[in-house]
Amino acid sequence: MKAPVIAVFAGGTSAEREVSAASGAACASALARSFTTRLFAVVAEALPDGYDPQSHVVFSTLHGTFGEDGGMQRLIDIAGGVYAGCDASSSALTMDKALTKRTVAALGVPVVDGIEFEAGSTPAAGDVVRRLGPRVVVKPNNEGSSVGLRIADDEAAIGAALAGITSGSWIVERRIVGRELSVGILKGRAMGIVEVRPKSGVYDYTSKYTKGMTEYLAPAPLDDALAARVRASAETAFSACGCRDYARVDFMVSSAGEPFLLEINTLPGMKEMSLLPMSARCVGLDFPALVREMVSPAIERFRLGAVSRRP
């Protein structure tokens, strides 16, 4: 049977399209070392021209809405295609931060206290302080790359952050001041733990994508017990949300040493120096080897499907 072409989808329509384009270029270059590969620029909420579900396996690097929320995955499913990464339902679940927290908390993974709300129904700043304290994080419920993230340290700042919200679904969470960790999951198993140390104290969009603004420690300097707990929580969260193939799970560790799950990223940044590749290097996988492993389950699903379609 002829090997499939790896179709790398990049760009998209979300606020993260520039990040996605960079991820796509890096992954396409790395995948081309092992497979026939084609890079597709996605410019609309539709399958790109030239995509062929009978001969392509999709490796998506689309971040944010439509790419990471199950939208593109559903279109590929309808077309009868095969893709690497989480399916449409788990993608939709994990894109919803509040639903993710409820899902993993049911299995004992600690999560940060928060309030969910829609624009137009924002809570009063005083109510937020009474429930969560004066130090909070305000963020969209379904965006990535820290798009829209706001930090508030008192009631007045909370009121100002809430007043600026005009659309969408949001969360306000108690702010945990501590150590930020990220761990990659590959085929259900946790890889290395990376510690993120933003010089500003907040890992926002600027800290993520401005050179020199953040220090990364890979592997993170953790004692064995905490490292084991973080890995176990990451694997539990991955399984609880029905994820497959790969993802990245982020945590904040409190000053008391308690790791709280922040979110699961099913299509995280994928340049060579992004967090998931850093996590993989901790366990001996360089970037080309990582992307080969990430796409390999989808290639197997494609082959099994081709066999089942034979007359």
The pLDDT assigned to 212 comes to 67
Q: Do domains 5-85+288-309 and 114-174 have the same CATH topology?
A: no
Find the mean pLDDT for residues 111-119: 95
Find the mean pLDDT for residues 38-52: 97
Residue type, 85: G
pLDDT band at 280 (very low <50, low <70, confident <90, very high): very high
Structure token digits, residue 97: 């931060």
pLDDT band at 149 (very low <50, low <70, confident <90, very high): confident
Separation between Cα atoms, residue 22 and residue 16, nearest integer Å: 10
The fold for domain 114-174 equals Dna Ligase; domain 1 (3.30.1490)
The pLDDT assigned to 199 comes to 76
CA dihedral 47, 49, 54, 56 (to 10 degrees): -80
pLDDT band at 2 (very low <50, low <70, confident <90, very high): confident
The structure's pTM equals 0.90
Separation between Cα atoms, residue 306 and residue 309, nearest integer Å: 5
Q: Of all residues in the chain, what percent carry a pLDDT higher than 90?
A: 83
Separation between Cα atoms, residue 58 and residue 300, nearest integer Å: 13
3-state secondary structure at position 115:
strand
Q: Judge whether residue 145 has pLDDT over 50.
A: no
Q: Judge whether residue 9 has pLDDT over 60.
A: yes
The pLDDT assigned to 137 comes to 94
Q: Judge whether residue 1 has pLDDT over 90.
A: no
DSSP string for 123-167: PPHHHHHHHH-S-EEEEETT--TTTT-EEE-SHHHHHHHHHT--S
pLDDT digits (tens, 9 = 90+) for 179-220: 999 999 999 999 999 999 977 666 555 555 556 678 999 999
pLDDT band at 65 (very low <50, low <70, confident <90, very high): confident
Tell me the catalytic residues: 16, 145, 209, 248, 250, 263, 265, 269
Q: Judge whether residue 148 has pLDDT over 80.
A: no
CATH for the stretch 5-85+288-309: 3.40.50.20
Cis previous bond, 110, omega within 30: no
The pLDDT assigned to 198 comes to 79
Lookup result for tokens 């790791």? 259
pLDDT digits (tens, 9 = 90+) for 219-267: 999 999 999 999 999 999 999 999 999 999 999 999 999 999 999 999 9
Residue from 78, 15, 82 nearest 55 by CA: 82
The fold for domain 93-110+177-285 equals D-amino Acid Aminotransferase; Chain A, domain 1 (3.30.470)
The pLDDT assigned to 202 comes to 61
Query: What is the DSSP-derived secondary structure letter of residue 299?
Result: H
- Going from N- to C-terminal start, the domains of the chain cover 5-85+288-309, 93-110+177-285, 114-174
The pLDDT assigned to 305 comes to 86
Find the mean pLDDT for residues 50-60: 97
* Residues in the chain, overall count: 311
Comparing 150 with 198, which gets the higher pLDDT? 150
